Structure 1
Amino acid sequence: MGAQKMPSPQDNPFYSGEINGRPYYSCCAYDRVERVRTFSMEQCDAAESLPSIQKTVLQAIKRRRKQLERGLR
């Protein structure tokens, strides 16, 4: 079974930059949960659509959505 192709930086809100000309993404749940705290609703949508997203990160996205719906930053 081949490796899944990682979404482009524009499609992946966990994009962190480039190392040696290759895109780098936050992969561990701790880093992702930290980043979710500042996501917009659009970034939440994009993050949820990523393959193999951790359950802890999905819970953080759900909490972030509720904050955004209530008008909190």
Structure 2
Amino acid sequence: MTPDDPRVSVAGASAGGGAVVAGAVDLMREPACGIVDALDSMVDALNEHGREYAAERGLALDGRLPPFVALAVAGNRSEE
């Protein structure tokens, strides 16, 4: 699979709101969902993974974005 594969979703890489507009974030924040208490830890872990992955591969991350989102953008950037 590659980022160009239509089966792949990359956070922050779509022109529209996608899952966020559809309510995915609101759903995760609902106590009935059962993951509310873990969300901050999940975000921290994903961002740490993004930083490590980028460092291992020499990818420059956009500091204006969370590291995990910036990773998706950096991996799709063409040679400048």
More strand by share: 1
TMscore range, shorter length: under 0.3
TM-score of the two chains, using structure 2 as the length reference? 0.26
Q: Which has the higher helix share?
A: 2
**What TM-score does the superposition give when structure 1 sets the normalisation length?**
0.28
Tell which structure's C-alpha radius of gyration is larger.
2
